[in-house]
Chains A and B, each alone.
Chain A
Amino acid sequence: MKSPLFIPLLQSRIAAGFPSPADDYLDVALDLNEHLIAHPAATFYVRVAGSSMEGAGIFDDDLLIVDRSLEATLGNIVVAVIDGDFTVKRLVKRRNKVLLVSEHPDYPPIQVHEESEATIWGVVTYCLHRC
């Protein structure tokens, strides 16, 4: 997750010609890592296989950015482990029950029992989708 820094070169010369009017406004180029990744040591990537989250704009073969350092709150899309298998679902509460729900009419919600083997692995912060 090292991120190269794009530093613009000083273009104008000192003595000859006119100095660039932009020299006083030099800035560092935008770095997408900085925008997408708040906690590099806790950030992992996950490739999606399947269609059950299409309602949330997550499609087959999309790349998810997952931040493990975040505390999952209701409404978050999370990577969860259920009985040893990974899945991606939205964490919701309905009638006082915490559920992991798909965003597709064909898939039923999964109830998170107190004693069940479901754990939250990380919180999905961004979804990278090829347009």
Chain B
Amino acid sequence: MYALVDCNNFYASCERVFQPRLMGRPVVVLSNNDGCVIARSQEAKDLDIPMGAHYHTWEAAFRRNNVIVCSSNYPLYGDMSARVMTVLKEFSPHVEVYSIDESFLSLHHVPVADLLRYGQRMRQTVAKHVGMPVGAGIAATKTLAKVASKLSKQHNGVCVLHPQAKAEEVLATFPVSKVWGIGGRYARFLQGHEISTALDLCHAKDSWIQQHLSIVGLRTVMELRGTPCLSLEEVAPRKQVIAVSRTFRNAVKDYTALSEALATYTARAAEKLRAQQCGCTIIKVHVATNIYQDGLSQYGNSATVSFALPTDYTPRLVKAAVQGLKTIYRPGYAYKIAGVYFMGLVAEEEGSQLDLFNTPTPAPSRALMKCMDRINGEHGRGTLKLAAEGGTQPWRMRQKHLSQRYTTRWNEVLKVGV
């Protein structure tokens, strides 16, 4: 048996752990740069505030309804997520961290008759230890556990879909478009063939499914029928692309500012690259004006620079990014977005002997990067940076409603008046 444990309104719930006043009040969390709504508390959902709502168009409505607005505080959310996952590991030897707020657990060690109670204990423990409300869906396969988790709210937080007859009762009214792995495109196709519920899909012929939905789709159907086909992925697969891209709050015209921003994103991407022990062979930089704004002269372009040998050395990567920018920068435009993409990622051990005529990153440079990552890890991102990243960084994003980093910075821990 598998469980999918899902945090309720995760970002908003993280804020509430340290600001109990937000309990019972509508809370929205904004994207980087305070652009639009990316997370809502239940109360905010009840006010019909949509995902993606633009802050500046909704600001007045938020004020009228006493909606609490938070900038996204990723250091806090990341730490709280890791805490939730750590607590869950006490309940299962096999945990797959599926996303920042969802985990699959294998529950093969729990007798079927105890699953509901076990699920409730998991829920209560996470709520007590971390302060995070979670729900759990439990079933014979991961795909069914996903279905069960969608129903957990109506079942005191834990829904067990077992045995299969019970699961099918639910699948009979479960829209096929909401099945994990089906997606909108397939759903439309299926509806055209009079398959609108998950149960309809279960009853379709294997050969027909494989023909139209491929082997991947067939696996999904087998899982809906109660046959496990997907196992837990306990080790996250290495990323194939590392992207760091941001929208500027105020458009940037100046070459220096653009170059500083790209250098900063490149340095951040390089940190991620080293964390997954890879080298990069292709770097792409991209800049563009605001295509949503009429009456503005538009321009967007990207440039690609490749390396003969994979590298993870920040100065080399930054140099390439700036070189790329030089070829695509055109003066006179108001740039709204800039980003860097690392591609052609090669694991360190694979890439080290590819090219006889080039030398890989020399040892002192490696040591320097290690040292830089450690200092920035301990004292905060950007403590140690290249001069190319700029000093005051006026192009930096705005986060006007940022809460403290209660769990990752000594000078920002929760202060309590006693």
Contact = CB atoms under 8 A, between A and B. Distances in A.
A44 B129 CA distance: 10
A81 B407 CA distance: 19
Contacts of A41: 82-84, 86-87, 129-130
A46 B129 contact: no
Contacts, number: 72
B418 A84 contact: no
A52 B413 CA distance: 20
Contact of A69 (B20, B129, B406): B129
Interface in B123-166: 128-131
A48 B418 contact: yes
Interface string A45-65: 111111111000010000100
Residue of A46, A79, A119 with most partner-chain B CB within 10 A: A46
Interface string A78-103: 01010011111100000000000010
Interface in B81-95: 82-84, 86-87
Contact of B407 (A44, A58, A68): A44
B193 interface: no
Contact of A44 (B20, B414, B418): B414
Interface residues of B, number: 21
B415 interface: yes
A129 interface: no
A84 B407 contact: no
A47 B87 contact: no
B23 interface: yes
Contacts of A121: 20, 131
B417 interface: yes
Contact of A39 (B129, B406, B415): B129
A106 to B, nearest CB: 12
B418 A42 contact: no
Nearest to B84: A41
Given A39-B129, A68-B130, A86 B406 contact: no
**Interface magnitude class on chain A:** 20 to 34
Contacts of B86: 40-41
Given A42-B130, A52-B418, A86 B413 contact: no
B356 interface: no
B418 A88 contact: yes
Given A41-B129, A68-B130, A86-B20, A47 B413 contact: yes
Interface string B168-195: 0000000000000000000000000000
A55 B385 CA distance: 46
B367 interface: no
A102 B413 contact: no
A84 B20 contact: yes
A86 B129 contact: no
B23 A47 contact: no
Contact of A84 (B21, B84, B128, B131): B21
Interface in B380-418: 406-407, 410, 413-418
Nearest to A61: B415
Contact of A46 (B82, B84, B413): B413
A43 to B, nearest CB: 9
Interface of A: 39-42, 44-53, 58, 63, 68-69, 79, 81, 84-89, 102, 119, 121
